[in-house]
Amino acid sequence: MEMERVTELTMDRRPRKRPRLGWDVLTQPPKAQLGLFTAQEIEDVSSYAPSRALLEHPSTLFVKTLAHNGSPPWREDDKDGHYVFEIGEHITSRYKIHRKMGEGTFGQVLECWDREKNEMVAIKIIRSIKKYRDAAMIEIDVLQKLGRHDRDGNRCVQIRNWFDYRNHICIVFEKLGPSLYDFLRKNNYRSFPIDLVREIGRQLLECVAFMHDLHLIHTDLKPENILLVSPEYVRVPEKISSRSAKDSTYYKRIPKSSAIKVIDFGSATYDKQDQTYIVSTRHYRAPEVILGLGWSYPCDIWSVGCILVELCSGDALFQTHDNLEHLAMMERVLGPLPQHVLKKADRHAEKYVTRGRLDWPYGATSRESLRSVLKLPRLQNVIMQHVDHSAGDLIHLLQGLLKYDPAERLSAQEALRHPFFNRDRLRR
C-alpha cells in the first residue's frame, strides 16, 4: 500500500506581498510621551477609559500597576502600536488568550476562550493609533448594521461584542475556519473542484448583493477575507504527471462544507459620488480604480471575478505590483481596454496612456515585466485548463463580471441569475 504523500507548504511559492492602501497611506502620528499611572489613579484597569489627550496620541501607552485575573502588569505596546500579549493571559476578566490567529495592518486577531459563553471566539485587537481606532469604529458601525439586517448571519461574519481595552479597540467575532487563501496555500495552491467553486461563488455574490442593497461597498474582497465556516476537510487522491518521473499520487484537500462568511469590513464604505481614492488589494483591484475614473459597487464585482478564477486555477489572476503592468495583464487576459475608458484616465493615470491606447510594451520597466505579461493565457484558456465541465457557463459569467466598463459589468443580483448557478437547478 502506498504511503500517503501530503505536500504542506511553509512558504508561499509566489509573490503575495500586498500593501494595503487607503488607511495605510496616512501619516503616522508622532509617538506620545509615556503615560504613567498608579494603582490609586486607576480603580479598574480593565475598564479604564483613556483621556482625550491619550486618544489623540495613542501610539505608546504604559500603565504601571498590578493587573488581575492572572495577567502580568500592563506592558508597553510595541513600536507600531500593536498590543503585546502572552498566551494564557486575559483580556478583561472574560477572555483568555489561547493563540494568535493572524496579524495585519490593522492589528492582530487572537483566538480566545469566552468564559461567559464557554466557547472559543476570535478577537480583533486594533493598534493603538488614532487612524486605526477610527477605522475600527466605522467597521463596528457597519457590522452592527449588517447584523440587524442579517439576523441569521448566513453570509457576513457576526460581531459578538466590542470594547475598548488599554487603548485598543477589541472586536469579538464568532470563531470560523481558515480563509480560502490559507486553504489554497496549505493545499499547495491546487484548485477547488468546479462544483465547490459554484457554491462558494453563489454565497459570495449573495453576500455582495446583500451589502449593495444596504448601499454598502466592501472594497477589499479577496480570498484572505472569505472564511470557511468549518475547518474540516477530506483528502482525495490526485495523480500528477511529471516528465522527469513516474506519475505520483498526492492527496488533495477538499473542504467538507462549502459554507463561507465574508470578513474584514474595515474598508467598507457607503456609496457616494466621485470616490477616487485607492481601494482594494492590488490583485483584485478594478481598472476604474487604477485609472482614477471613480468607483462604486462594480469594484466589488470585479474582485469577485478575480476570486473565482483563482479558486479554479489556484493562482491569483493578476500577480503584479505595478499599475501599467497590471493594466497590460488585463489586456493580455481579457482583450484591449476600450478607448472611451482610457480617455477618462485622471492626471495620475494618464501617463499609462498614449494616443488613446495603453502605453505597452513601450512603457515596460524591464524585460522581466514584459515576460510576466506575455506568459499569461487568455481567460478562456485559463478556465479550460482547469475546469472539466460547466466551463462555457463559467467563462461567460466571468466575462460579465470582468467587464472593463463598470457600467456594463453585471450586478450581483444579475450574476446570481446566470446559468452557471442555475442550469443544474433547471435540469431537476
Give every residue of the chain whose pLDDT is below 70, as ranges: 1-74, 153, 240-247, 424-428
Task: Using alpha carbons, select from 7, 394, 14, 377 the residue that is nearest to residue 196.
Answer: 394
394 membership: H or E segment, kind and range = helix 391-401
Query: b/e map of 298-331 (b: 16 or more CB within 10 Å)?
Result: bbbbbbbbbbbbbbbbbebbbbbebbbbbbbbbb
Cell of 278: 485607492
**In the annotation, is 141 catalytic?**
no
Q: CA–CA separation, 310 vs 192, rounded Å?
A: 9
Q: What is the pLDDT of residue 26?
A: 30
Q: What is the pLDDT of residue 25?
A: 31
> Measured over all CA atoms, what is the biggest interatomic distance in the chain, rounded to whole angstroms?
74
Task: Using alpha carbons, select from 46, 127, 132, 22 the residue that is nearest to residue 79.
Answer: 127
Q: What is the CATH number of domain 32-174?
A: 3.30.200.20
For 339-354, the DSSP string reads HHHHTT--TTTGGGEE
**Degrees to nearest 5, angle at CA 412 with 409 and 415:** 75
Q: What is the pLDDT of residue 389?
A: 83
Q: CA–CA separation, 127 vs 48, rounded Å?
A: 17
pLDDT in tens, 103-114: 988 999 999 999
Cell of 51: 483621556
Domain ranges of the chain: 32-174, 180-427
**Degrees to nearest 5, angle at CA 164 with 162 and 166:** 140
Q: What is the pLDDT of residue 312?
A: 96
Q: What is the pLDDT of residue 209?
A: 96
Q: Strand 119-126 and strand 107-114: pairing?
A: antiparallel
419 three-class SS = helix
Q: Which residues contact 334 (CB under 8 A, 6 or more apart)?
A: 379, 399, 402, 404
Q: CA–CA separation, 225 vs 178, rounded Å?
A: 10
pLDDT in tens, 297-338: 999 999 999 999 999 999 999 999 999 999 999 999 999 999
CATH tag for 180-427 (out of 1.10.1740.110, 2.160.20.10, 1.10.510.10, 3.20.20.70) = 1.10.510.10
Q: What is the pLDDT of residue 17?
A: 43
* Residue of 77, 220, 300, 393 marked catalytic: 220
Q: What is the pLDDT of residue 15?
A: 45
337 three-class SS = coil
